[in-house]
């Protein structure tokens, strides 16, 4: 495993930032040990509006292709807010150490992190960005009414 000497810069949308700060502060108050890493990363993030997020940046609700510790295979997960993970079999919580490490990175960036369960140090490398799901509001069509034929 190759060492990372400087942390890469990260970019987070203002919408993700607001939601994740609220979540991580609550988690911190409940004693969640992962919350400190997420709060630290959010503190050092550069913020941008959702519409200005570069396409090569990992965000919440995007599929990310990554390599862990120089392993030969590439893994793929949908990075998701913990509250949205209910039915996502391939989801990765942004509040997990790996999810937090991926948040805001660009393709090609490498980021160290510690797996809190085992205390093991890892380095994750972003290999690509897949489909990004956007939470844009959909205009209302009014109330649904049954058709009569």
List beta partners, residue 56: none
- Cβ pair 114, 34 in contact under 8 A: no
The Cα 31–Cα 64 span in angstroms is: 29
Residue 61 has what pLDDT? 93
pLDDT, one tens digit for every residue, the chain (149 residues): 556 679 999 999 999 999 999 999 999 999 988 899 999 999 999 999 999 999 999 999 999 999 999 899 999 999 999 888 776 678 999 999 999 999 999 999 999 999 877 889 999 999 999 988 765 543 444 444 444 44
3-state helix, strand, coil in the chain (%, to 5): 25, 30, 45
Structure tokens at 120: 């093991």
Determine the topology of domain 11-132 in CATH.
Answer: Chitinase A; domain 3 (3.10.50)
Residue 18 has what pLDDT? 96
Residue 116 has what pLDDT? 72
Backbone φ/ψ region at 69: left (φ over 0), alpha (ψ -120 to 50), beta: left
Query: How many residues comprise the chain?
Result: 149
Domain range summary for the chain, segments of one domain joined by +:
11-132
Residue 49 has what pLDDT? 96
């Amino acid at each position: 495993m190759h060492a990372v000497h400087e942390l890469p810069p990260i970019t987070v949308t203002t919408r993700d930032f607001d939601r994740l700060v609220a979540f991580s502060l609550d988690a911190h108050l409940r004693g969640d040990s992962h919350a400190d890493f997420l709060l630290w990363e959010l503190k050092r993030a550069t913020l941008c509006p959702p519409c200005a997020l570069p396409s090569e940046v990992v965000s919440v609700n995007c599929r990310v292709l990554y390599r862990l510790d120089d392993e030969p295979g590439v893994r793929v997960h949908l990075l998701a807010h913990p509250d949205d993970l209910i039915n996502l079999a391939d989801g990765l919580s942004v509040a997990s150490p790996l999810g937090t490490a991926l948040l805001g990175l660009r393709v090609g960036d490498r980021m160290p992190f510690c797996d809190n369960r085992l205390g093991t140090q890892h380095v994750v490398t972003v290999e690509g960005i897949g489909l990004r799901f956007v939470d844009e509001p959909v205009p209302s069509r009014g109330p649904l009414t049954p058709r009569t034929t």
